[in-house]
Structure 1
Amino acid sequence: MRKVGIIYNDIKPVARRIAMELQETLSASGWDVRVATGVGGILGYSRPDSPVCHTPIDKLAPDGFDQHMALAIVLGGDGTVLAAFRQVAPYGIPLLTVNTGHMGFLTETYVNQLPAAIEQALAGECKIEERAMLLVKVLRNEHIWWEALCLNEMVLHREPLTCMCHFEVTIGRHSPVDIAADGVIIATPTGSTAYCMSAGGAVITPEVPVLQLMPICPHSLASRALVFAETETVNIFPATPNQLVMVVDGNAGCYVLPEDQVRVERSPYSARFIRLQPPEFFRILREKLGWGLPHIAKPTSVELP
């Protein structure tokens, strides 16, 4: 019996209702259906009294989700999609992402198009688009203190009410650089339209095999976004006496102490999106962010008084 998964946002009643209805429909059609929420992909935040708060990346998959699953359907917004990929990426499960949220930048279809979308996906009439993910580790005395997969970005920044920080950053074999800023972002092409874009970084099309380093509010005119090959490993050393905060994809993170090291590299796992039509990145930029829309036309003639 072929197996299919459903991951939904359990705080959205519409997502919960559709998940239950979909489970019944697919089971009646002969599918082995496994259902889970996206909560397992939200890794949580460390606290001073609990500095380690994470689950190893290969232990996040819900029960029954494995390499034998044909696909999984995600019901939620972008946050649910990010959490779902952390849960299933190690098994290479492709996701059909359905928007029940607001912007839905990472989603492929909408609830009112769901029956036709599922029929098309289950029939194999679709494409699989692979997006790069990052493997983020916090090392303390060369031991892994915290780790996570992320699809958008890793952000390392100062705590509130503390001063500007210094970061010693080494990219691959290149000489280390010192960045004075409120924080630094390491983003994938997918994440270039998220926090990195808000901080002034470049928008990068998904198929370009690069990563981006973006300082947050740098204290130098020379500190600007840097784009480099995704094969390079990034090591960040906090050159500051203050405790820092690291956040991954906006919903998971930990404290980073002055003696810690943050290592970011391209993950061996990819996010596999089910595309019902050939991906068209510029169309998404126009629809979701208003990029490239024509300006209001000027009048062809002006009547003088």
Structure 2
Amino acid sequence: MPKVGIIYNDIKPVAQQAALEWQDKLTALGYDVSLATGVGGILGYSSPERPLCHTPLDSLVPPEFDEDMLFALVLGGDGTVLSAFRQIAPIGVPLLTVNTGHMGFLTETYLNQLPQALDQVLAGDFQVEERAMLAVKLFHHQTLIWEALCLNEMVLHREPLTSMCHFEVGIGHHSPVDIAADGIIISTPTGSTAYSLSAGGPVITPGVSVTQLIPICPHSLASRGLVFPDHEPVSIHSANTDPLVMIVDGNAGCYVMPEDWVSTCRAPYSARFIRLRSPEFFKVLREKLGWGLPHIAKPTSVELP
């Protein structure tokens, strides 16, 4: 019996109801359907009393999900998509992402279009687009103490009301550089339209094999964003005496103590998106972010009072 999965946002009634309905429909069609919630991919926020909630990268795969699955549905918004890929990427199952949220920048279709979309997928009429992910790791001296998969970005920043941060950043074999800023963003091309865009970074098309570093509110005119090959690992050491906070994809985090350091590199797993048509990134930019829309022409003359 062919296997499929469904991952849904269980705090949204519409997503929960749709998950149960499509479980019944796919079961009636002869598929073995497994359900999981997006909560399993959220690694949890830390507190000073509990600075680490460490879960190994490949241990988040939901029960009954495995490499034999043909595909999985994701019912939710962008946060659920990010969480789902953290769960599913290690087993390589492609995901059909269905928007039941707001922005839906990472989703392929809408809930009211799901019947037609599933007909197309079940008929094998789709493409799989692979996008790079980051493996983010936190070390205490040389001991690994925290790790997470990342599709958008890793953010390392100061605690509220603390002073500016000073970072020593090493990229590949190049000499380390010093950055003074409120924080640092390490982003994939997929994440270039997320936090790094708001922080002044460029938009990078998903097929480009690069990583970008964006300082947050740098205290220097010389500290600007940097784009470099994604095969080069990054190491970040803090020169601060206060703890820092690290957030991955906006839904997982830990404290970074003064003697800790952060490593990022391209993950061995990719995010595999099911595409119902050839990917058109610029179209998504126009529809979701208003990029490249025609300007309204200025009047040729103005009547003065």
Q: Normalized against structure 2, the TM-score is what?
A: 0.98
The offset of 1:19, in angstroms, is: 0.4
Tell me which amino acid in the other structure corresponds to 1:111: L
Query: Cα–Cα, structure 1 residues 167 and 30, in superposed 2: closer, same or farther, change >3 Å?
Result: same
Tell whether 2:174 aligns with 1:179: no
Query: Which residue of structure 1 aligns with residue 244 of structure 2?
Result: 244
In the alignment, the residues of structure 1 paired with residue 36 and residue 122 of structure 2 have an alpha-carbon distance, to the nearest angstrom, of 19
Quote how far apart the aligned CAs of 1:298 are. 2.6
Q: Which residue in 1 is equivalent to 2:160? A: 160
Q: In structure 1, how many angstroms separate the alpha carbons of the residues matched to 2:257 and 2:124?
A: 48
Cα-to-partner distance string for 1:28-77 (whole Å, 9 max, x where unaligned): 00000001100000000122222221311111011111110100000000
CA distance in 2, matches of 1:303, 1:262: 61
The amino acid across from 1:154 in the alignment is M
SS of 1:277 mapped into structure 2: coil
Deviation at 1:300, TM superposition (A): 4.8
Q: Distance in 1 between matches of 2:130 and 2:75?
A: 20
1:97 Cα deviation after fit:
0.2
State the distance in 1 between where 2:288 and 2:41 align. Answer: 25
**What is the CA–CA distance in structure 1 between the aligned matches of 2:117 and 2:93, rounded to whole Å?**
17
> How far does the alpha carbon of each residue in 1:253-298 deviate from its partner, in whole angstroms, 9 at most, with x for none?
1000111110000001000000001000000000000001011123
SS at match of 2:288: helix
Task: Look up the SS of the partner of 1:18 in the other structure.
Answer: helix
Name 1:232's counterpart in structure 2. 232
Cα distance in 2 for residues equivalent to 1:288 and 1:101: 13
In the other structure, the counterpart of 2:126 is 126
In the TM superposition, 1:189-208 aligns within 5 A as 189-208=189-208
| Residues 1:53 and 2:53 are matched in the alignment | yes
User: Conserved in 2, the CA contact under 8 Å of 1:44 and 1:54?
Assistant: no
Once residues 99 and 300 of structure 1 are traced to their aligned partners in structure 2, the CA distance between those partners, rounded to angstroms, is 43
Matches within 5 A, 1:1-305: 1-300=1-300
1:51 and 1:194 mapped to 2: Cα distance? 26
Structure 1 stretch 227-236 or stretch 53-62: which is displaced more?
Answer: 53-62
> Partners of 2:244 and 2:34 in 1: how far apart?
39
Q: How many residues align?
A: 305
How far 1:141 moved relative to its partner?
2.3
Name the SS of the counterpart of 2:218 in structure 1: coil
**Are residues 163 and 302 of structure 1, via their aligned partners in 2, closer, same or farther at CA, if it must alter by over 3 Å?**
closer
Amino acid at match of 1:232: E
Where structure 2 has 5 or more consecutive residues not aligned to the other structure, the ranges are: none
Does the residue aligned with 1:44 lie in a helix, a strand or coil? coil
For residues 244 and 183 of structure 1, what CA distance do their matches in structure 2 show? 9
Verify the 8 A CA contact 1:86 1:150 in the aligned structure 2.
Answer: yes
CA distance in 2 between partners of 1:29 and 1:289 (Å): 38
Distance 2:234 2:124 in 1: 38
Superposition deviation, residue 302 in structure 1: 5.4
Distance 1:9 1:248 in 2: 19
**How far apart in 2 are the matches of 1:216 and 1:52?**
24
Partners of 2:48 and 2:241 lie apart in 1 by 16
Name the CA distance, whole Å, in 2 between partners of 1:169 and 1:251.
24
CA shift digits 1:170-224 (9 cap, x unpaired): 0000000000000000000000000000000011000000000000000000000
The Cα shift of 1:139 comes to: 0.4
- Report if aligned partners of 2:54, 2:145 keep a CA contact under 8 Å in 1: no
CA contact (8 A) 2:9 2:80 kept: yes
Tell me the amino acid that sits aligned with residue 8 of structure 1: Y
- Write the letter of the residue equivalent to 1:103: M
- When the two chains are superposed, the root-mean-square deviation of aligned CA atoms in Å is 1.0
CA shift digits 1:118-172 (9 cap, x unpaired): 1111221001000000000000121111000010000000000100010000000
Larger mean CA deviation between 248-257 and 119-128 belongs to 119-128
- Identity fraction in percent: 72
Report the Cα distance in structure 2 between the residues aligned to 1:80 and 1:61, rounded to whole angstroms: 14
Is 1:154–1:249's contact at 8 Å kept on the other side of the alignment?
Answer: yes
Q: Hey, what's the Cα distance between the residues in 1 that align with 2:228 and 2:14?
A: 41
TM-score normalised by structure 1 residue count: 0.98
Separation in 2, partners of 1:118, 1:64: 21
